[in-house]
Structures are given as C-alpha cells and as structure tokens.
Amino acid sequence: NAGVMQNPRHLVRRRGQEARLRCSPMKGHSHVYWYRQLPEEGLKFMVYLQKENIIDESGMPKERFSAEFPKEGPSILRIQQVVRGDSAAYFCASPRTGNMNTEAFFGQGTRLTVV
C-alpha cells in the first residue's frame, strides 16, 4: 500500500475550522474510494470518485463534507466547520480496476483530531 499516498498523516483542527485531506492513488489508477474509521469501529464507505466525477457519494454526510478528484492532482476530502465527532482515521483506497473486488491498495490514512 506504499503506492497510495495520503497527506497529512496527522491533522489537528479546532472546532469550526476546515480540514483538507489529500490522496494520490497508485500511478495509473483513476479510481479512488474514501473510507472513515471511527475509534473501535470498522471502515465505513464515504465516497467513490473517478477523475472529475463523483460516482457514488451515498456514504457522505449531507452537510459539511465534500470530495473531488480533479483531472490533475490528488483527490481531496474536505470537511468544513469540523466538530469533535469528525475525529477519525480517513483512508483512501485505490483499486486495480474500477471496483473494490480486485485487490485494493489503501493509503496509510490521515488521523484527524478535532480539539
């Protein structure tokens, strides 16, 4: 999973600030999935993007959260006006093909702490 780059690894934000999480998938991959892991829980699907398109955002909270995957550059998960409940580990995954049934490579995650 070293090929999927996420940054920053750790992010501390005060309540009300904005958090921007970045994910660069494996070279040549054009699909990105974002997952969130709350403490002591499994990973929960948030959003699936291809370059310049949101394919499935059914797991995204309706407010404050947005994601993009521009033609150039990394995918960005943006959380506006963060609250304590947003504290979690956020992982992006880069599957070999367009679906997660093939081996998918996860990044090391961004650990967001809201204080």
Interface positions with other proteins (CB under 8 A): 1, 4, 6, 33, 35, 40-45, 48, 55-56, 59, 91, 93, 98-101, 103-109
For residue 59, what are its two tokens? 């797991």
Question: Between residues 81 and 99, which has the closer beta carbon with respect to other proteins?
Answer: 99
CB of 41 to other proteins, least distance (A): 6
Question: Based on CB atoms, which residue is closest to other proteins, 17 or 37?
Answer: 37
DSSP-derived letter for residue 40 is T
Q: Residue 76: name the closest of 25, 22, 26, 34 by CA.
A: 22
- Min separation Cβ 16 and other proteins, Å: 27
Q: How far is the CB of 21 from other proteins (least distance, A)?
A: 13
Return the number of the residue (76 or 100) whose C-beta is nearest other proteins: 100
- In the bound state with other proteins, the residue whose beta carbon lies nearer, of 17 and 106, is 106
Cα distances (Å, whole numbers) of residue 31 to 17, 99, 100, 103:
28, 8, 10, 13
Both tokens of 40, joined, read: 């002591």
Q: SS3 of 97, please? A: coil
